[in-house]
Structure 1
Amino acid sequence: MYLKIKRLIDIILSLIGLIILSPFFLILMLAIKLDSKGPVLFKQKRVGIYKTHFNILKFRTMSIETPKDTPTHLLQNPEQYITKMGKFLRKTSLDELPQIWNIFVGQMSIIGPRPALWNQYGLIEERDKYGANDISPGLTGWAQINGRDELPIEVKAKLDGEYVAKISFWVDVKCFFGTIVSVVKSDGVVEGGTGELVQKDVKSIKVPIRRS
């Protein structure tokens, strides 16, 4: 039942967001265009619900010479590809705003596991253990307020599974406001590496495993 309500909330809030933020979108688009060559928006194939594929939208933060379909943490010296405007957008997570459109058309939800790249096979396989590929990916989620880029794949997948097991309106509210706090503090943002989150032990996270 909640999943139907969740979709309705997504439609209403994303529509409001598109309308209210449209002037801000135009300012950011102009700034990106003046800062570097290339398109304003960046499209990338990601994994959606039931492992279907869709094109996620972001404001472009890297130069057009950046290798395609390569996670930032796998690039050698990723800083060389990030534009001046891109550094600001990534630090503030404003590069993610165009995904409001992905939410509005039903490819994503406001809250859910962050959509994996189509070739992040390890993460996709780990999420299968917890049913985390069977719900819509989100703009932000439980893993994002518990480590973001610092999390190794196994911990990230377990946290996504924890969200699936506990999904509710109040968990979504906690994720939403927790994300605002994380963005303001720039918690867990790591360019060029996933990092070691020593305070979190993958074995300490208790999540029911779904068997196919």
Structure 2
Amino acid sequence: MYQQKIKTIGLRNQKRLVFCTLLAIFFNELVSMTVAEPESLGYLDRLPSPFYSAIIYWYFIPLPFLYYIRFFLFKYTARKNIRVAVIGLTENGLAAENALTTEYANIKLDLAFYDERSPSRCGDVVEKIKSPFRGSVSNLVEEARQGNIDEIYIALPMVALHRIRHFLAMMSDTTVDTYIVPDFYTYSNNMSKLRSIHNLQTIGIFSSPFEGAGSFIKRAEDLVLGSIIMVMISSLMLAIAIGIKLTSRGPVFFKQDRYGLSGQKIKVWKFRSMRVMENSDTVIQATKNDPRVTKFGSFLRRTSLDELPQFINVLQGSMSIVGPRPHAVTHNEQYRKQVENYMIRHKVKPGITGLAQINGFRGEIDALYKMEKRVQYDIEYIQNWSLWLDIKIIIKTIFKGFVGKNAY
């Protein structure tokens, strides 16, 4: 009985990178123990402290080797070319072609399509596919038996399960790596992830990227950067608090209900920018020349300085520095019915800034398409999250994310 597999695009390179890194560390230690011994570098014995000498011996001298060794190992263990077959002139096959072309961009890729149907019967998708069509699946099996194919991807819709099983049975007579590309993997707004439950393989469609190590890294990022930023902006926050007290009556801060992680309500901190703040079932979004907004509050809102107290939320753990912006509860209830996949935003903690904000989508929402674009950017962020992406968003926020023409 053959086993069906689903390949995660990029996993092979990740495994190779880990292997090359470990091998580079081994060579690095070898260099440390031979080349960088005190006997070999006698002039270093004159250093005043054995501690500092040890640091130089074991860290600064061999460290450059680690990078270059890994670079050359990764480069020269890479395949020079790969021959790939995709079964199915379908939209799913087109998605597989795009993914494979990107994945193997640095090597020679020989990709071809196979299908039991002629191209004339496969609809408009044929015009979008760039790779050649080389005939039926029977032709593919013959090529695979002759060793002319390295990988096969079955990109048929799941409704054609009987055909998929038939093709898998045909491929079991070859030694080629064969993978299934489920058609729901091409669903544009998902965070698909493999999960093994005992002997059952499942695919999580709406799963959070912040699990396990990802959750630890994200929280560590928030605590470290949040603490540093709070120290840096403490004087500014004090000045803003004095400005609020001098220009209007009322408290310096206010807390408003928002939806957080998993759709749970949280209290979000902000500097007060209005004369009378509402937190009822009806929330009226601030508009241009809104009479409720004070003059000083208008400045705070245009520059997003009213949101600085949300670093308190970050340190408390209810928000992140980077993530989808939290909306008013009533707005959530409104847009979750109007915008597809809106609630996916709540698979992660809300953020002070996000991908949507640095792309110009902040402030008043006076048209549905603006919210749709926000959600698209939010989901794109969730799908592609990395520590480096967070850093880039934070840097861009400093230069272009604070001020917006639609922020009143």
Could you tell me which residue of structure 2 aligns to residue 62 of structure 1?
274
Give CA-to-partner distance per residue, 1:98-127, whole Å, 9 cap, x none.
000000010000000001211111334547
Q: CA 1:153–1:129 in 2, change beyond 3 Å: closer, same or farther?
A: closer
Could you tell me which residue of structure 2 aligns to residue 146 of structure 1?
359
- Higher RCO (CA < 8 A, seq sep 6+): 1
Equivalent residues in 2 for 1:64-143 (5 A)? 64=276, 66-69=277-280, 70-73=283-286, 79-120=290-331, 121-124=333-336, 126=339, 128=341, 131-143=344-356
Structure 1 CA distance, aligned partners of 2:342 and 2:256?
25
Could you tell me which residue of structure 1 aligns to residue 390 of structure 2?
172
Could you tell me which residue of structure 2 aligns to residue 209 of structure 1?
none
Q: Which amino acid aligns with 1:97?
A: L
Unaligned runs of 5+ in 2: 1-212
The correspondence for 1:18, drawn from 226, 230, 238, is 230
Instruction: Note the C-alpha offset of 1:128.
Output: 4.0
Q: Which amino acid aligns with 1:109?
A: S
Give CA-to-partner distance per residue, 1:37-59, whole Å, 9 cap, x none.
11100210001000001110000
Counterpart check, 1:189 vs 2:406 = yes
Give CA-to-partner distance per residue, 1:59-114, whole Å, 9 cap, x none.
000112x44452424x6x65211111101111211111000000001000000000
SS at match of 2:378: helix
Structure 1 CA distance, aligned partners of 2:381 and 2:284?
24
Structure 2 CA distance, aligned partners of 1:93 and 1:175?
15
Could you tell me which residue of structure 1 aligns to residue 90 of structure 2?
none
Q: CA 1:150–1:33 in 2, change beyond 3 Å: closer, same or farther?
A: closer
Structure 2 CA distance, aligned partners of 1:162 and 1:71?
28
Identity of counterpart residues, as a percentage?
36
Counterpart check, 1:38 vs 2:256 = no
Preserved contact between residue 127 and residue 160 of structure 1 (Cα < 8 Å): no
Preserved contact between residue 150 and residue 188 of structure 1 (Cα < 8 Å): no
Q: Once superposed, what is the RMSD of the aligned Cα atoms?
A: 2.1
Instruction: Note the C-alpha offset of 1:183.
Output: 3.9
Q: Which amino acid aligns with 1:84?
A: K
Could you tell me which residue of structure 1 aligns to residue 241 of structure 2?
29
Q: CA 1:130–1:43 in 2, change beyond 3 Å: closer, same or farther?
A: closer
| Farther-moved stretch of structure 1 (147-156 vs 36-45) | 147-156
Instruction: Note the C-alpha offset of 1:15.
Output: 1.7
Give CA-to-partner distance per residue, 1:126-154, whole Å, 9 cap, x none.
47457221101000001111122366211
Instruction: Note the C-alpha offset of 1:18.
Output: 2.4
Structure 1 CA distance, aligned partners of 2:300 and 2:264?
28
- Report the TM-score, using the length of structure 1 for normalisation: 0.79
Query: Number of aligned pairs?
Result: 187
Preserved contact between residue 37 and residue 63 of structure 1 (Cα < 8 Å): yes
Unaligned runs of 5+ in 1: 192-212
Preserved contact between residue 302 and residue 407 of structure 2 (Cα < 8 Å): no
Structure 1 CA distance, aligned partners of 2:264 and 2:223?
20
Q: Which amino acid aligns with 2:250?
A: G
SS at match of 1:132: helix
Could you tell me which residue of structure 1 aligns to residue 373 of structure 2?
155
Q: Which amino acid aligns with 1:60?
A: R
Structure 2 CA distance, aligned partners of 1:190 and 1:20?
24
Q: CA 1:136–1:24 in 2, change beyond 3 Å: closer, same or farther?
A: same
| Farther-moved stretch of structure 1 (150-159 vs 87-96) | 150-159
Instruction: Note the C-alpha offset of 1:9.
Output: 1.1
- Report the TM-score, using the length of structure 2 for normalisation: 0.43
Structure 1 CA distance, aligned partners of 2:228 and 2:391?
17
Structure 2 CA distance, aligned partners of 1:43 and 1:182?
26
Q: Which amino acid aligns with 2:398?
A: I
| Farther-moved stretch of structure 1 (168-177 vs 97-106) | 168-177
SS at match of 1:32: helix
